[in-house]
Amino acid sequence: MSEGPEAYIDDSKPLRDDDTFCFSCTPERRCFTNCCYDLNLVLMPYDIMRLKNRLGMTSGDFLKKYTGVHVGQETGVPVILLKMEEPYLKCPFLEEARGCNVYEDRPGACRTYPLARMARRSQSMEGVEEFYYIVREPDCQGFRDGREWTVREWKANEKIAKFNEMNDVFGELLQAKQVANIPHLSADQIDIFYMGCYDIDGFRDFFLNGPNLERYMESDDVISKISEDEEELLKYGIRWVKKKLFEGGCLGCGASCSTDG
Ligand code: SF4
Ligand code: SF4
C-alpha cells in the first residue's frame, strides 16, 4: 500500500477559514480518479454510517465486505481501513468511466482533500480549535491553474461540516482514553469499541432491542431520540464507549456504576 496522505502534508502553514489556496479537480484532468487507487483510507464512524446506508446494507455486512481492522499504533484503538480491490488496488466505489459511485456519501477524507483537518482540544478548553494543512499528493494535477478558494468556501462546497461535527464526538472519546492513560485495550474492550463506534446496527440491536439493563437507566426522551435518529444513536454509541471504557460507568446513570467493561 502506498504512503498515507500524512506523508504529503505541507505543515509549513496552518490554514484557517479565511485563508486561501488554489485547486481544481475536474474530469478533464489527466490524473482523474488516479487518487482513488492504493489508498490508506481510514473510515471514521460517520463515514461508515453514510456508506452503509448509501449501499442499503447493515453496518455489520458493510464492515465485513469492505473493510479491515487493525489496532492503531499511536492510538491503541481499533482502526477501520477501506479494503482496496485487487489486482490494481482500486477503491471498491470507483467506477472507472464514471468516477465515484458513492459521491454524495463519500468519506470525509475524500471530501476534505486537498486539505487535511487538524483538530486541537484540551481539558481547559470548550470545543475544538481547528485548522487545515494542504496535502500535496505528488501526482495530483489539481494544483495547476486551480481556482482560488477560501477554506470556508471549500468546506461548504464539499459539505464537510457534518463529518467534522461527528469526528469531533469521536475525538472526545480518544481524548478520554488519553486522560484515563490506558495505552492498550483488552480483546473485550476492543469488541465494545468496535460495536459502539463502527457497527451502529449491531449497537442498535444490543442496546435498544436486546435484554440490556443500561437502557432502562436512560430517560424516555433519550431513548426515543436515539431510536428515531441514527446520527443521534451513533453519537450515543461513541459516548457510551467513552463512559464505559475510559470513565468507568454507563451513560444513563452518569456515575461510576461499573468498571468491568
Ligand atoms: S486533480 Fe487530484 S484530486 Fe482530482 S482526480 Fe486528479 S489526483 Fe485526484
Ligand atoms: S470513496 Fe469515492 S472519492 Fe473516495 S477514494 Fe473511493 S472512489 Fe475515490
Q: Residue 69: is its pLDDT beyond 50?
A: yes
Give pLDDT tens digits for 76-134: 899 999 999 999 999 999 998 889 999 999 999 999 999 999 998 876 667 789 999 99
Q: How many domains does the chain have?
A: 2
Q: pTM of the prediction? A: 0.92
Q: Of 149 and 75, which is predicted with more confidence?
A: 149
255 in a structural domain: no
Query: Phi and psi at residue 149, in whole multiples of 5°?
Result: -125, 145
Range of the domain at 217: 165-246
224 CA distance to ligand 2 middle (Å): 34
254 in a structural domain: no
Q: Rounded mean pLDDT of the chain?
A: 91
Assess whether 18 and 120 both reside in one domain.
yes
99 CA distance to ligand 1 middle (Å): 11
Assess whether 127 and 215 both reside in one domain.
no
Q: Which ligand is nearest to the CA of 36?
A: 2
Residue 96 burial by CB count (10 A; 0-12/13-18/19+): exposed, middle or buried? exposed
How far apart (Å, rounded) are the C-alpha atoms in residues 186 and 224?
A: 32
Assess whether 106 and 139 both reside in one domain.
yes
Q: Of 245 and 123, which is predicted with more confidence?
A: 245
Atom of ligand 1 nearest to the CA of 142: 1
Q: Which residues line ligand 2 (CB under 6 A)?
A: 36, 39, 91, 93-94, 100, 102, 106-107, 110
Pick the last residue of a domain from 159, 186, 206.
159
Q: Cα torsion at 167, 235, 241, 211 (round to 10°)?
A: -150
Grid cell, residue 141, equals 494535477
